[in-house]
């Protein structure tokens, strides 16, 4: 077989020997020039790095809010202390990013006043709108609401847009406070009593030992959990006070225009387009006025009346429309929860009914015995344990505890009527 003739050598400089040099039967590459990437602009690189930092911050915060699979509160309470906190912190990051990455305010400037100076001045010293310029017309030409010749007319200062991010973060702290209190008062009781019994797959000896430890604790501490349960109920009432108080706080923050904000938005949607005024523009104006005073060449004061665009208010108005409806829903659900807790405190029959419909594997006479010979705090502990422990193991625990209660008569109470007074 004839040997293939060698390929002619090509000049190349430095580096490793090209691939086709060691394999003469392969054709040389068609592209002689190396691939080059377009250099990334500095602005785009900064925005990318800023986005990565924000995502890392969000990921870290969401990791801190995760508390595992142990349930020691109600779903309404978690909507306050977990879901709402996550929402408010996310909105804080969004507003902060929008405020410091883009231009939160753009004002019409002249040659004598630099653009950055005017924007910074109007952002720091606030802008204003004319109160009487909502729907009036000037020379038969429509104008933007709130933008009019000032003169001696009353004006409304727009200062809050500087503080929106801080107020949202303060709201997140206030919503997390009831959870922090309950976690400190709960003391890990549910987690300690579970002893990994949320998984039914374990050896019979281990399961029997853990069930015995749980039953011994419940027997020795029966009727001593009322104060523990009342602390949780206080945290639920505190969550209701917090969400209602935050509605008044927002109303004060927006000069009395937030309390009816949601109803005004609904009325705005249902009104004809020609006759309606956007309530979001009234609270979050997108165009305002700013007065800048400077000294001229002769030393006299010169007044510059500038128009300012607030693109940040486009984000703010959507945020607070959502928060208005979210707070109203939370307040109604929490109010129902408080009434539900009051019924539970004064009605042992309701406790029996709730345990029956929640844990159908437990016999009726077992539930009757346990509720009749225990107090409201014990019922709350049983309910929380049933939320976390495996259903079969929880059934065995309640049956053994009821059998132990039947054998010892010193916990006996004279029926449900007597129990109402002791609950």
Q: DSSP of 99-113, one letter per residue?
A: HHHS-S-EE---SSS
pLDDT at 361: 86
Residue 234 CA from chain centroid, whole number: 22
Q: Give pLDDT, residue 13.
A: 47
List the strands of the sheet with 106-107, edge to edge.
106-107, 301-309, 287-295, 127-130, 155-158
For 155, the enclosing helix (H) or strand (E) is: strand 155-158
Q: pLDDT tens digits, residue range 12-54?
A: 444 555 544 454 544 554 444 444 444 445 545 555 555 555 5
Q: How confident is the model at residue 420 (pLDDT cuts 50, 70, 90)?
A: very low
CB 242, CB 94: distance < 8 Å: no
**Residue 237 to residue 241: CA distance in whole angstroms:** 6
Structure tokens at 321: 């429309």
How many Å separate Cα 174 from the centre of its chain? 12
Q: Is the pLDDT of residue 164 over 70?
A: yes
Q: What's phi and psi for 337, nearest 5 deg? A: -65, -40
| Cα dihedral sign, 168-174-178-179 | positive
Residue 149 or residue 334, greater confidence: 334
The highest-confidence range among 54-63, 202-211, 250-259, 370-379, by mean pLDDT, is 370-379
Quote the pLDDT of residue 57: 57
Backbone angles phi, psi at 302, to 5 degrees: -110, 135
Interatomic CA distance for residues 231 and 181, integer angstroms: 9
State the Cα–Cα distance between residues 298 and 301, nearest whole angstrom: 9
Long-range contacts of residues 304-307, Cβ cutoff 8 Å, at least 24 apart: 304/110, 304/112, 304/113, 304/118, 305/150, 306/107, 306/108, 306/109, 306/118, 306/122, 307/107, 307/108, 307/147
Q: Encoding tokens for residue 371?
A: 């509720």
Please name the residue ranges forming H helices in 300-407.
312-346, 348-358, 364-372, 376-388, 391-407
Confidence of residue 376 (pLDDT cuts 50, 70, 90): very high
Comparison of pLDDT for 119 and 352, the residue scoring more: 352
Average pLDDT score over residue span 220-224: 89
Lowest-pLDDT range of 141-150, 209-218, 280-289, 366-375:
141-150
pTM for the model: 0.74
Q: What angle do CA 343, 345, 348 make, to 5 degrees?
A: 85
Q: What DSSP designation does 296 have?
A: -
Cα separation, 108 vs 290, whole angstroms = 10
- Other C-beta atoms within 10 Å of 184: how many? 9
> Which stretch of 37-46, 62-71, 350-359 has the lowest confidence by average pLDDT?
37-46
C-alpha triplet 150, 153, 155: angle, nearest 5°: 80
pLDDT for res 30:
47
Separation of first and last alpha carbons in the chain: 104
Top pLDDT among 9 and 114 is at 114
Percent of the chain whose pLDDT exceeds 90: 27
- Kindly state the average pLDDT of the residues 145-169: 72
At residue 42, the pLDDT reads 53
3-state SS, residue 278: coil
**Confidence at 417, pLDDT banded by 50, 70, 90:** very low
Of the ranges 141-150, 196-205, 354-363, which one carries the lowest mean pLDDT score? 141-150
Q: What is the pLDDT of residue 351?
A: 92
Burial, 152: exposed, middle or buried (Cβ in 10 Å; 0-12, 13-18, 19+)? exposed
What residues have CB less than 8 Å from 360, skipping those under 6 apart?
none
Q: Is the pLDDT of residue 116 over 90?
A: no
Q: What is the four-CA torsion angle of 196, 199, 204, 209, rounded to 10 degrees?
A: 20
**Position 378 pLDDT exceeds 70:** yes
Nearest by Cα to 122 from 290, 293, 312, 304: 290
Quick one: 203 exposed, middle or buried, by C-beta within 10 A (0-12, 13-18, 19+)?
A: exposed
In 164-303, alpha helices (H): 164-186, 189-194, 204-220, 226-253, 261-269, 279-283
- DSSP per residue, 58-87: HHHHHHHH--TT---S-HHHHIIIIIHHHH
Q: How far is the C-alpha of 307 from the C-alpha of 199, rounded, in Å?
A: 65
């Amino acid at each position: 077989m004839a040997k293939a003739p060698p390929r002619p050598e090509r000049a190349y400089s430095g580096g490793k020997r090209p691939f086709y040099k060691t394999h003469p039967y392969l054709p040389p590459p068609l592209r002689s020039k190396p691939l080059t990437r377009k250099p990334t602009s500095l602005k785009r690189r900064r925005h990318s790095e800023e986005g990565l930092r924000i995502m890392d911050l969000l990921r870290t915060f969401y990791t801190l809010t995760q508390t595992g699979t142990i349930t020691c509160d109600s779903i309404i309470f978690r909507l306050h202390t977990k879901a709402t906190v996550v929402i408010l912190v996310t909105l804080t990051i969004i507003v902060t990013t929008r405020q410091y990455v883009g231009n939160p305010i753009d004002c019409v400037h002249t040659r004598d006043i630099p653009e950055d100076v005017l924007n910074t001045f109007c952002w720091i010293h606030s802008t204003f709108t004319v109160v009487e310029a909502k729907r009036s017309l000037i020379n038969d030409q429509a104008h933007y609401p709130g933008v009019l010749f000032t003169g001696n007319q009353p004006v409304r200062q727009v200062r809050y847009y500087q503080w929106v991010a801080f107020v949202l973060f303060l709201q997140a702290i206030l919503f997390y406070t009831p959870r922090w209190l309950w976690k400190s008062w709960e003391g890990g009781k549910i987690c300690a009593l579970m002893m990994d019994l949320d998984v039914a797959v374990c050896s019979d000896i281990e399961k029997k030992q853990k069930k015995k430890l749980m039953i011994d604790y419940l027997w020795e501490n029966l009727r001593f959990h009322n104060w523990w349960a009342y602390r949780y109920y206080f945290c639920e009432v505190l969550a209701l006070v917090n969400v209602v108080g935050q509605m008044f706080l927002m109303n004060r923050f927006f000069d009395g225009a937030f309390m009816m904000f949601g109803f005004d938005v609904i009325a705005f949607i249902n009104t004809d387009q020609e006759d309606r005024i956007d309530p979001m523009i009234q609270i979050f104006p997108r165009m305002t006025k700013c007065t800048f005073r400077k000294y001229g060449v002769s030393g006299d004061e010169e007044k510059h009346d500038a128009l300012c665009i607030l693109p940040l208010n486009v984000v703010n108005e959507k945020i607070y429309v959502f928060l208005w409806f979210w707070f109203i829903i939370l307040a109604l659900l929490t109010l129902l929860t408080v009434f539900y807790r009051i019924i539970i405190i004064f009605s042992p029959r309701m406790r029996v009914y709730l345990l029956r419909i929640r844990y159908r594997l437990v016999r009726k006479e077992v539930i009757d015995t346990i509720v009749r010979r225990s107090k409201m705090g014990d019922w709350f502990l049983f309910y929380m344990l049933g939320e976390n422990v495996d259903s079969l193991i929880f059934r065995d625990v309640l049956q053994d505890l009821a059998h132990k209660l039947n054998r010892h008569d010193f916990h006996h109470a004279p029926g449900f009527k007597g129990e109402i007074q002791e609950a």
